[in-house]
A and B are shown apart, each in its own frame.
Chain A
Amino acid sequence: MNQSSVYILGGFQTDFSRNWARENKHISAMMREAYEGSLEATKIKPSDIKAAFIGNFAAELYCMQGHLGAFFVDFDPAFKGLPTSRFEGACASSALAALSAMAHIQAGHYDCIAVLGVELMKSVSPAQGGDYLGTAAWYERESAGIEFPFPKLFGKLGDVYEERFGLKDEHLARIAAINYANAKRNPNAQTRDWYMSYEHACQKGQYNATVTGRIKVTDCSQVTDGAVCLYLASESFAADYAKRLGQSLEKIPRILGWGHTTAPIEFAAKVADSEGNPYVLPWTRKAVADAYARAGIRDCWDLDVIETHDCFTTSEYMAIDHFGLTAPGQSWKAIEEGMIEMGGRLPINPSGGLIGCGHPVGATGARQMLDAYKQVTNTAGDYQIPGARRAATLNIGGSATTNVVFIIGFSE
Chain B
Amino acid sequence: MKIENVLVLGASGTIGSLTGGVLAQNGFHVDYLSRTKSGSQKGLEKAMAQARSEVIAKNITCGDYDTMLLDSCSRADWILECVAEDLAIKQAMYQQIDHYRKPGSIVSSVTSSLALEDLPKGRSEDFQKHFLSTHFYNPPGKMLACEICGQSKTDPAVVDFMADFLSSRLRRAVIPVRPEAGFAGNRIAFLLFARITELAIEHGVEMMDYLIGPYTGRIMPPLATLDLVGLDIHKAIIHSLQDHTSDPLHERIVLPNYINEMIASGRLGRKARDKGGFYKRLESGKFVYMDPKALAYVPAFHPHVQFVEQAKQYIRIGMYRQAFGTICDAQGIEADIVKEILATYIAYSYMLIGQVTEEKYGIEGIDRVMTTGFNWAGPSLIVHMLGGKDNAAALLRSQHLDVPASLMQDTVCDRYLFNAGRYFPAR
Contact = CB atoms under 8 A, between A and B. Distances in A.
Majority secondary structure of chain B interface residues (helix, strand, loop or mixed): loop
Contact of A28 (B53, B315, B317): B317
Contact of A29 (B51, B52, B56, B316): B316
B318 A29 contact: yes
Contacts of A29: 315-318, 421, 426
Interface string B319-343: 1000000000000000000000000
Contacts of A24: 316, 425-427
A45 interface: no
Interface in B163-186: 171
A25 B54 contact: no
Given A24-B316, A200-B53, A40 B418 contact: yes
Interface stretch (A153-161, A191-199, A343-351, A360-368): A191-199
B160 to A, nearest CB: 22
Contacts of B54: 203, 205-207
B216 interface: no
Nearest 10 A/B pairs, CB to CB: A29-B318, A32-B318, A195-B51, A24-B426, A23-B425, A195-B25, A207-B52, A200-B55, A15-B419, A200-B53
B178 to A, nearest CB: 28
A193 B419 contact: no
B194 interface: no
A1 to B, nearest CB: 39
A206 B416 CA distance: 43
Contacts of A36: 318, 416
A259 to B, nearest CB: 32
A23 B426 contact: yes
Given A24-B426, A40-B416, A40-B418, 11 more contacts: A15-B418, A18-B419, A23-B421, A24-B425, A24-B427, A25-B317, A29-B317, A31-B318, A32-B319, A195-B51, A203-B53
A37 interface: yes
A29 to B, nearest CB: 3
Interface of B: 25, 48, 51-56, 141-142, 144, 171, 315-319, 416, 418-419, 421-422, 424-427
A33 B421 contact: yes
Interface in A11-30: 12, 14-15, 18, 22-26, 28-30
B356 to A, nearest CB: 26
A12 B426 contact: no
Given A193-B141, A197-B55, A14 B419 contact: yes
Interface residues of A, number: 32
A236 interface: no
Contacts of B422: 15, 18, 23
Given A30-B318, A193-B141, A207 B418 contact: no
Contacts of B53: 195-197, 200, 203, 207-208
A200 B171 CA distance: 20
A195 B56 contact: yes
A366 B331 CA distance: 44
Contacts of A23: 421-422, 424-426
A59 to B, nearest CB: 15
Contacts of A37: 418-419
A270 B25 CA distance: 41
A12 B54 CA distance: 37
Given A15-B419, A33-B419, A203 B55 contact: yes
A195 B52 contact: yes
A75 to B, nearest CB: 9
Contact of B426 (A14, A25, A194, A206): A25
Nearest to B415: A40
A32 B321 CA distance: 13
Nearest to B55: A200
A40 B415 CA distance: 10
A23 B425 CA distance: 4
A36 B421 CA distance: 11
A29 B422 CA distance: 11
A319 to B, nearest CB: 27
Contacts of A40: 416, 418
A195 B142 CA distance: 12
Contacts of B52: 194-195, 207
A240 B51 CA distance: 50
A12 B418 contact: yes
Interface in A197-220: 197, 199-200, 203, 205-208
